[in-house]
């Protein structure tokens, strides 16, 4: 059983659900699991998280990516402890005011914590409903569909289990690629199963690749590299990176040595990177020196990959 599925009377329920929901935004269950367990070893309760500092939380999140989630989780924990007696608000409008909580997470928490009749609409739920109705996702108003069918959908009193069951159903039976229709208990009401003319699933649009140049100032004697928080990558806002600029193709780079070209995907973006370097003991503006080995500071994995490459330079 997944560790965040604790009993409905457990005092840990809110914290475990909150932590797992933040981790599972953009991350798969199997990747999130070891991070979830390790996080609890260091910060076992909502109160301990609320008293923690951002550096510690980011360090525990290191490698999971989308670091804004970690900052929002900390801010949400502080608000809940300070302003709401460590409880989740009962109204969706108030839950959605918490940092990093959008429509999906708010509905999931409302069902998990307060057992309210609601459905958290994610890609999983959209796929299931679009198959049952045999309609393409872009032709369905999901909120309207739920509202129209609420008497059937919310017949049960176990709303928390229902949301959980929908997730399991999408992962194990009505799977993204090949649904296991013959094992499915609702196949007799499913239009996709019964129809000879099955709708076609929309193809996902691949993110466009962007070109960037990265410039590493290396202090060879002290084994340090200059990092800055002032850069062009909006999605790694407020994190230390070497100076990075969107590249203009065919533009020659003077006074820098070319090291390598590599690809990286972060935050749903594809980057094609040219890495340049120069040896210099002069710190560039708005930068800080960082040791190439044994840093205690939180450094995103994107920057760590660059460190690895720099260490290869003789």
Query: Which residues have a catalytic role annotated?
Result: 21
Residues in binding contact with ligand SF4, number by CB under 6 A: 13
**Which of 190, 236 has the CB closer to ligand SF4?**
190
Q: Minimum CB separation from ligand SF4 for residue 306, in Å?
A: 44
131 lies in the binding site for ligand SF4 (CB under 6 A) = yes
**Which of 61, 192 has the CB closer to ligand SF4?**
192
DSSP secondary structure of the chain: --TT---TT-TTHHHHHHHHHHHHSSS-HHHHHHHHHHHHHH--SHHHHHHS-HHHHHHHHTTS--THHHHHHHHHHHHHHHHSTT---SSHHHHTTSTT--HHHHHHHHHHHH--S-----HHHHHHHHHHHT--GGG--HHHHHHHTHHHHT-SS-HHHHHHHHHHHHHHTS-SSS--GGG-TTGGG-HHHH-SSPPPPPPPPPPPEEEEEEEEEEETTTTEEEEES--S-GGGTTS-B--EEEPPTT---TT-EEEEEEEEEETTEEEEEEEEEEE-SSPPTTEEEEESS---S---HHHHHHHHHHHT--
**Which of 178, 312 has the CB closer to ligand SF4?**
178
Q: Minimum CB separation from ligand SF4 for residue 188, in Å?
A: 8
170 lies in the binding site for ligand SF4 (CB under 6 A) = no
Could you tell me which residues come within 8 angstroms of residue 224 by beta carbon, excluding any fewer than 6 positions away?
Answer: 218, 289, 290, 291, 292
Q: Which of 184, 247, 283, 292 binds ligand SF4 (CB under 6 A)?
A: 184
**Which of 193, 215 has the CB closer to ligand SF4?**
193
132 lies in the binding site for ligand SF4 (CB under 6 A) = yes
214 lies in the binding site for ligand SF4 (CB under 6 A) = no
**Which of 193, 290 has the CB closer to ligand SF4?**
193
187 lies in the binding site for ligand SF4 (CB under 6 A) = yes
231 lies in the binding site for ligand SF4 (CB under 6 A) = no
166 lies in the binding site for ligand SF4 (CB under 6 A) = no
179 lies in the binding site for ligand SF4 (CB under 6 A) = yes
192 lies in the binding site for ligand SF4 (CB under 6 A) = yes
167 lies in the binding site for ligand SF4 (CB under 6 A) = no
146 lies in the binding site for ligand SF4 (CB under 6 A) = no
Query: Rule CB under 6 A: which residues touch ligand SF4?
Result: 131-132, 173-174, 179-181, 184, 186-187, 190, 192-193
């Amino acid at each position: 059983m997944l560790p965040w599925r604790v009993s409905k009377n457990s005092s840990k329920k809110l914290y475990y659900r909150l932590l797992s929901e933040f981790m599972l935004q953009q991350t798969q269950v199997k990747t999130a699991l070891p991070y979830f367990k390790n996080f609890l070893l260091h910060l076992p309760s909502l109160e301990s998280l609320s008293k923690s500092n951002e550096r510690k939380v980011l360090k525990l999140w290191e490698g999971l990516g989308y670091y804004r989630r970690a900052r929002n989780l900390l801010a949400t924990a502080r608000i809940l402890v300070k302003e709401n007696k460590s409880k989740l608000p009962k109204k969706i409008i108030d839950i959605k005011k918490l940092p990093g909580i959008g429509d999906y997470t708010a509905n999931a928490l409302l069902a998990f914590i307060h057992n309210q009749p609601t459905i958290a609409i994610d890609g999983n739920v959209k796929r299931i409903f679009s198959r049952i109705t045999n309609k393409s996702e872009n032709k369905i108003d999901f909120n309207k569909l739920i509202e129209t069918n609420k008497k059937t959908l919310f017949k049960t009193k176990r709303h928390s289990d229902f949301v959980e069951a929908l997730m399991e159903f999408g992962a194990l039976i009505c799977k993204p690629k090949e649904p296991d229709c013959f094992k499915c208990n609702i196949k007799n009401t499913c239009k996709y199963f019964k129809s000879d003319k099955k709708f076609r699933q929309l193809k996902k649009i691949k993110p466009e690749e962007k070109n960037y140049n990265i410039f590493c100032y290396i202090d060879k004697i002290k084994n340090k590299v200059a990092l800055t928080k002032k850069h062009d990558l909006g999605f790694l806002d407020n994190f230390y990176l070497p100076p990075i600029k969107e590249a203009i193709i065919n533009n020659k780079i003077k006074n820098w040595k070319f090291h390598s070209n590599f690809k990286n995907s972060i935050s749903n973006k594809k980057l094609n990177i040219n890495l340049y370097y120069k040896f210099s003991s002069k710190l560039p503006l708005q930068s800080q020196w960082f040791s190439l080995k044994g840093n205690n500071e939180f450094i995103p994995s994107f920057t760590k990959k660059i460190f690895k490459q720099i260490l290869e330079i003789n």
